[in-house]
Amino acid sequence: MQTNLDETIQFLKQPGEGSLFVISGPSGAGKGTIVQALLPRHSRLTLSISMTTRVPRRGEVEGQHYFFVSKEEFESRIEQGQFLEYALYNGNYYGTPRTFVLNKIAGAEDVILEIEVQGGQQIRKNWERRSVHIFVMPPSRANLLNRLQTRKTESEEAIQARLKRAEEEMGHLPDYDYYVINDQLEEAVQTVSAIIQAERQRIFQSLLKGEKTI
C-alpha cells in the first residue's frame, strides 16, 4: 500500500465512483420532504426519478416526480433489463432506471433512491459494496395517519392500505444500516445529511491497496 503522505491524500481526494443512498420507510413518513431539503445542501448528490404505473397525483409532474407509464410499457422495460430494481407496491409497479443511475455513479455522483423495502433488498444484494440504507420512520402510528390524511393525496381506503403496508415495512428495519425518526423535519434532514457526510469519508481498503473494485 502507498504510505507516502501527499500521494495518499491526493488519492483520497480524487473523485471515485459514487455511492447509492437508499431511503425507505412507510409512505407518509416524510421521505420525499427530507430528500427535497437534502438535495440543495450537497453537491454531487442526485435523486433518481423512478418509473411507475401509478396514476399521477394532483400536482405531480412527469419527469420530476416520476416517469408515468402503462403496465404494458413497464413490463416490456422489465424484459429489456432497464431497471436496477423494481417492485410491485399496492398494485402498481415502481422501478429505478438502470442507465441513469449507473452513469451518475460512474461520474462520481452519489445517487439517492427513494424506494420501498423490496427494492432496497434488491439493491443490497446487487450493490452491497457501495450502497447505504437509511430507514425513515414517523414518530408514531397516529402521527403517520395524520400526515397521510393532511397530505390529502389518497382516498381513505388507500390510506388504510398504506398504514397496513407500513406495519409490514417496519419488519424490514433490520435490513437497514441507519434509522431516522422524522419528528422535527430540520433535525431529520440534518441527521440524513450527517450520514451522507460520514459515508463520504469511508475508507475502502481494497482501493487503497490499488485494487479496481471495492
Q: Which residues bind ligand ADP (CB under 6 A)?
A: 25, 27-33, 147, 150-151, 182, 185
Q: Does 115 bind ligand 5GP (CB under 6 A)?
A: yes
Answer for which of 18, 21, 35, 94 binds ligand 5GP (CB under 6 A) is: 94
State yes or no: residue 85 binds ligand 5GP (CB under 6 A).
yes
Written as nine digits, the cell of 61 is 409532474
> Strands across the sheet with 67-68, in order?
67-68, 51-52, 92-97, 83-89
Question: Angle between the 185-199 and 31-38 helix axes, to the nearest 10 degrees?
Answer: 60
- Distance between CA atoms of residues 68 and 65, nearest Å: 9
Instruction: Indicate whether 137 belongs to the interface with ligand 5GP (CB under 6 A).
Output: no
Residue span 34-73 as binding mask against ligand 5GP, x where in contact by CB under 6 A, dash where not = ----------------x---x-------------------
Residue written as grid cell 475508507 = 203
Strand, coil or helix: 101: helix
Q: Should residue 119 be labelled a site residue for ligand 5GP when binding is judged by CB under 6 A?
A: yes
Give the nearest residue (CB) to ligand 5GP: 119
